[in-house]
Structure 1
Amino acid sequence: MPVLAPGEAAHASRRAIVSNGVHAHLTTFIGANRYVAGTAPPPGPEAVYPMAFLVEQPAGSVVDAHFHEANQFQLVVAGSGTLGTHAVRPIAVHYSNAYSAYGPITAGADGLHYLTLRNGYDRGARYLPAAREELRGVRRRFRAAVADAAPPGAPAAEPMTETLLAGTPDGLGAWRHRLPPGAALQGPDPAGGDGQFWVVTAGALQAADGATLPALSCAFVGPAEPPLAVTAGAAGLEVVVMQYPRGRDHVAGQE
């Protein structure tokens, strides 16, 4: 079954953190992380393990260039800033493979809020240049895209799909869907990749089991699940679907 994470439930986990000298806030949606312990030991890098949390980076702060042990999407949901040399604002999507360095992340005058989404467990950022030796011999991938801002106010009059990251032969891709009230949407086949995150950015998503995910909620669909089928709520729906590439070329034996 997909893992559903309503935003209002996750809000109770919001806490102040300090990372790389930056004072920020973190809200956990799915999985354990280095600030929120799980109920069981974390799995190895070969296992599908969804992690989702919201980072609220304060105005003017800078998170230095770094990398992670797991494949990762980041979705900017509020504020503005830069990621490396790329200007970012809602709705910006960034993808990087495990052991692929990126950054720095610089928050603008109104701060920068982004969801961090992984399909494998990660112990925390490895900052450069101190951790540079860990990057030797690992294949790296980096892609980024920024979607046009959705018009404010009324929901879409008809279903619309915008490609944020064009699909690749190994399944990597990201798309934004805007739906009028009551419209149906079926996602891509999860077997084509290594898991999907769905993030509601406006309106509400109605799942097949009757669950409702309002704005700033997310869901994870594993690669063995059937395609996710949803409908838009009474105010319509805007949802970003992000799919990880097949395989884990950072794990021995899975290149």
Structure 2
Amino acid sequence: MTSAPMAVAPAQSRTILRTTESGDFLMSDYLGEHSDGSATGGFQAYLVGQKAEKLRPHYHEVDQFQVVLDGSGRLGRHAIGAGTVHYSDAYTVYGPIFADAPDGLSYFTLRLDPAAGLNYMPESRVKGETRAGEHFTCAIDDAAGATGKLDLLARTRRGAAAFGVALDLGGVLNADALAECVGRGYAVVLSGSVAFGDRTLPSGSLIPFESAVALEGLSGQSDRTNLALVVFATLSEPTQ
């Protein structure tokens, strides 16, 4: 098994402006490149700054999470804002995504395998690729106690899952808390800051992992730090 890439802070990302028929999007690459789906594997993560009012329904060829960092809007019929987590299986249609003016919406797109572009609906229906896969939209509870315990927000039958966790100043993630977070995935620093290894990581940082036990010892460096932990499916087929 290959090791996960290093944690990435916002200052290490690379940002470009993409102007489309829908409007403007700021694309900040954290791991890999958002426009390059040619790699055979590996973590792909980028932050989307959606200034466009609407992004039409579409699907991707890989499983993915989206985690809202800032702003507000709607995903389908769900109101979304900072701390919202969305998951969709590969080839599963979702959207539209609406961003509220004037600030728009900032959200991470997180994948284990790279993909590029969007398959817009309904015109992509002719490809015959869409599936009735699983998806969910959930949100971190800002009022939850800063206990360092993981709060399971949602899980698919194949095992893709989202967790929220809050740490107070000096609070530490331990092995017992991380035991139910099984699989490869990401930790997202939503607010506050954390100490991880020999680094201090601010809000908007990403920590990819091959196993969540790699996060053991991560500690809060603010009065309150909120994190989202997401893990991808461990099963190829859903359990009954």
Q: TM-score, normalised by structure 2?
A: 0.84
The 8 Å contact of residues 190 and 226 in structure 1, kept in 2 or not, is answered as: no
Partner of 1:66: 58
> How many residues are paired up?
230
CA distance in 1, matches of 2:108, 2:130: 29
Shift of 1:69: 0.9
Structure 1: gaps spanning 5 or more residues: 250-255
The 8 Å contact of residues 91 and 130 in structure 2, kept in 1 or not, is answered as: no
**Aligned-partner SS, 1:14:** strand
Partner of 2:204: 216
Shift of 1:182: 1.3
Q: TM-score, normalised by structure 1?
A: 0.80
State the one-letter code of the partner of 1:124: G
Determine which of 222, 238, 247 is the counterpart of 2:226.
238
User: Following superposition of structure 1 onto structure 2, how do residues 180-199 of structure 1 map, counting pairs within 5 Å?
Assistant: 180-186=168-174, 188=178, 192-193=182-183, 195-199=184-188
Shift of 1:196: 1.1
Determine which of 101, 104, 108 is the counterpart of 2:96.
104
Asked whether 1:144 is paired with 2:137, we answer yes
Deviations along 1:183-235, one digit per CA (max 9) or x if unpaired, are 11036359933x1110001121222x312211100011125x74421122254
Shift of 1:170: 3.3
Q: 1:190 to 1:222 in 2, by over 3 A?
A: farther
CA distance in 2, matches of 1:129, 1:91: 30
Q: 1:228 to 1:105 in 2, by over 3 A?
A: same
Structure 2: gaps spanning 5 or more residues: none
**Aligned-partner SS, 2:12:** helix
Shift of 1:112: 1.2
Determine which of 128, 143, 165 is the counterpart of 1:177.
165
State the one-letter code of the partner of 1:192: V
CA distance in 2, matches of 1:206, 1:173: 24
CA distance in 2, matches of 1:158, 1:143: 25
Partner of 1:5: 8
Shift of 1:127: 0.5
**Aligned-partner SS, 1:176:** strand
Q: 1:121 to 1:20 in 2, by over 3 A?
A: farther
Structure 1 stretches of at least 4 aligned residues deviating more than 4 Å after TM superposition: none
RMSD (Å), alpha carbons? 2.6
CA distance in 2, matches of 1:29, 1:146: 23
State the one-letter code of the partner of 2:201: L
CA distance in 1, matches of 2:219, 2:114: 30
Shift of 1:86: 1.0
CA distance in 2, matches of 1:183, 1:62: 39
State the one-letter code of the partner of 1:112: L
